[in-house]
Amino acid sequence: MPESFVQHDIRESFYSRLDDFVARHAGDAKSFALLIVNINQFRRFNTYQGYRLADELLAAFAAYLANVARPQDYIARIGNADYAMLLPDIHNEGHASLAAIKLIENLKEPLVVSQSPYRITANVGIALYPQHAEDGEDLFKCAELALNDSRNSLQSYSVFTNRQQPVEVYDWNIENDLQKAIEKDQFDLHFQPQIDLCSGRLFGVEALIRWHNGERGFIRPDVFIPLAESSGQIVEITQWTLNSALWFLQSWPRELAGMKVAVNISTKMLSEADFADMVANAVGIYGVDYSQLTLEITESALVEDVSTSFRILGELRSLGLNISIDDFGTGYSSMSYFKGIPATELKIDQSFIRHVLDNQMDEHIVQTVIQLANGFDLTVVAEGIEDQETFDKLNQMGCDIAQGYHIARPMPRDDILHWVEHYRATHGASEGKIETADNASTDAAG
């Protein structure tokens, strides 16, 4: 039996094998690599396809690893969706990276499970003996840190570097804590107002998720959303966000009825077959009007898989929902998409708004996007407005809606209700000038 035959080892026997490897390589300047390979979305596969198929997937994956490995490599399953590989005679990072690239590239061919093809992706963390650590336990830690780094940075593999060490978040089982956050209700929505540039009327609010973890304090969504995306937990989080936003909408005081709430929707949700049903169900439960809910999808998500995203968004659009293209200008979408874009709104990315006063190129881009939006009958929103001059400039350029710290920061539910009350009482007299004195309310995570 070649060593690369996959042993469904418990962790302990892997650790002793790792120690053997270290003992065998100690002193004679020979090096080897430890790779930890994690199957993405395995938990979801288990949930949706059932454990029988999941077990077959594991068997197919193990066979796959054995097939790409050399005879002298050792492979073991060390966790639910984790495999470790010990690769002798790997002398440097480049050599180890090549092994990881080979493994990842060949996975582009779908695995056949129960006669059906399944596309599997994996992340790989790499550590080298003796360069990164001189004992098994530390080497294992380095490979785990590299694996986390690869997931956080959305790269398919990562080689351990010292910079991965001090950052606490790498050393943290964030998935576990995310699960607890869902169960223990640690998420909160903050709301940032959007106003009509021309009339000054309140247009709606954007809901932004906040996570307060008891031990680690506030964790930014740009840290945990990508992790939730790769673990599959994004589905539950999106469900939570939609429900909370709709609950908020339904609880508006009567005079605010008709206000819109915008929810950010992760790219990953567009590949959920039942996403449109999920949204329709949630709207049904709260009895709000479809036209009061806006789904914000980043432009880059939209162009990743145009036919799928257009189809799903078209479905949602036909229900009467608003679809906003977020971070517009950063996704390199082709002008030809505009003919069929199932959207109602464009949000010009903050990076263009920031320099609209002092950079002519950005001014041109903003003006072009406004014209484009007008031509296709889309509402155009500028986000990231931080001063009155920018606000005035955008108004003069014909932009419809404004959002940004200059108007107000995202704030908790009770604060936004007060803010809106105050705003409505005063904005009539302010003639397009935004009063900033009263909206000092700060966003805890912002």
Q: Given the rule CB under 6 A, which residues bind ligand G?
A: 192, 208-209, 220-222, 225, 241, 264, 266, 326-327, 350, 383-386, 404-405, 410, 446
Nearest to 346 by CA among 311, 321, 371: 371
Amino acid at 295: L
Q: Kindly state the smallest distance separating residue 50's Cβ from ligand G, in Å.
A: 28
Out of Mn ion, ligand G, none, which partner does residue 180 contact, by CB within 5 to 8 A per kind? none
The token pair that represents 417 in the structure block: 């209700």
Out of Mn ion, ligand G, none, which partner does residue 46 contact, by CB within 5 to 8 A per kind? none
Residue 14 vs 203, nearer CB to ligand G: 203
Out of ligand G, Mn ion, none, which partner does residue 82 contact, by CB within 5 to 8 A per kind? none
Residue 32 vs 423, nearer CB to ligand G: 423
- Give the Cα-Cα-Cα angle 246, 252, 254 (nearest 5 degrees): 130
Out of ligand G, Mn ion, none, which partner does residue 338 contact, by CB within 5 to 8 A per kind? none
**Region of residue 329 (phi > 0: left; psi between -120 and 50: alpha; otherwise: beta):** left
| Mode of pairing for the β-strands spanning 82-88 and 111-113 | unpaired
Q: Kindly state the smallest distance separating residue 225's Cβ from Mn ion, in Å.
A: 12
Give the 3-state secondary structure percentages of the chain, helix then strand then coil, rounded to 5: 50, 20, 30
Q: Kindly state the smallest distance separating residue 383's Cβ from Mn ion, in Å.
A: 7
Backbone angles phi, psi at 20, to 5 degrees: -60, -45
Q: How far apart are CA 66 and CA 169, in angstroms?
A: 32
Q: Kindly state the smallest distance separating residue 416's Cβ from ligand G, in Å.
A: 13
Q: Kindly state the smallest distance separating residue 267's Cβ from ligand G, in Å.
A: 8
- Give the Cα-Cα-Cα angle 417, 420, 424 (nearest 5 degrees): 145
Give the footprint of Mn ion on this chain (CB under 5 A): 264, 296, 326
Residue 200 vs 446, nearer CB to ligand G: 446
Residue 12 vs 185, nearer CB to ligand G: 185
Concatenate the DSSP letters of all residues of 144-173 into one string.
Answer: HHHHHHHHHTT-SEEE--GGGTT-GGGGS-
Residue 233 vs 294, nearer CB to Mn ion: 294
Residue 132 vs 268, nearer CB to Mn ion: 268
Q: Kindly state the smallest distance separating residue 139's Cβ from Mn ion, in Å.
A: 41
Out of ligand G, Mn ion, none, which partner does residue 348 contact, by CB within 5 to 8 A per kind? none
Q: Kindly state the smallest distance separating residue 351's Cβ from Mn ion, in Å.
A: 14
Residue 136 vs 404, nearer CB to ligand G: 404
Q: Kindly state the smallest distance separating residue 434's Cβ from ligand G, in Å.
A: 12
Burial of 282 (0-12, 13-18, 19+ CB in 10 A): buried
Residue 31 vs 439, nearer CB to ligand G: 439
Q: How far apart are CA 255 and CA 124, in angstroms?
A: 54
CA distances from 351 to 136, 279, 357 (A): 46, 30, 12
**Region of residue 185 (phi > 0: left; psi between -120 and 50: alpha; otherwise: beta):** left
Residue number closest to ligand G, CB atom? 404
Residue 9 vs 383, nearer CB to ligand G: 383
The secondary structure element, H or E, covering residue 88 is: strand 82-88
Q: How far apart are CA 51 and CA 417, in angstroms?
A: 47
Out of Mn ion, ligand G, none, which partner does residue 404 contact, by CB within 5 to 8 A per kind? ligand G
Residue 208 vs 312, nearer CB to ligand G: 208
Q: Kindly state the smallest distance separating residue 296's Cβ from ligand G, in Å.
A: 6
Out of Mn ion, ligand G, none, which partner does residue 418 contact, by CB within 5 to 8 A per kind? none
Q: Are 40 and 80 in contact (CB under 8 A)?
A: no
CA distances from 309 to 93, 207, 252, 277, 337 (A): 38, 22, 31, 15, 12
Out of ligand G, Mn ion, none, which partner does residue 225 contact, by CB within 5 to 8 A per kind? ligand G
The token pair that represents 416 in the structure block: 């936004």
Nearest to 93 by CA among 22, 164, 159, 162: 159
Concatenate the DSSP letters of all residues of 395-422 into one string.
Answer: HHHT--EE-STTT---B-HHHHHHHHHH
Coil, strand or helix: which one is 435?
A: coil
Out of Mn ion, ligand G, none, which partner does residue 383 contact, by CB within 5 to 8 A per kind? ligand G
Out of ligand G, Mn ion, none, which partner does residue 4 contact, by CB within 5 to 8 A per kind? none
Residue 161 vs 351, nearer CB to Mn ion: 351
Q: Kindly state the smallest distance separating residue 275's Cβ from ligand G, in Å.
A: 12
Out of ligand G, Mn ion, none, which partner does residue 362 contact, by CB within 5 to 8 A per kind? none
The token pair that represents 282 in the structure block: 């949630």
Q: Kindly state the smallest distance separating residue 129's Cβ from Mn ion, in Å.
A: 45
Q: How far apart are CA 342 and CA 312, in angstroms?
A: 9
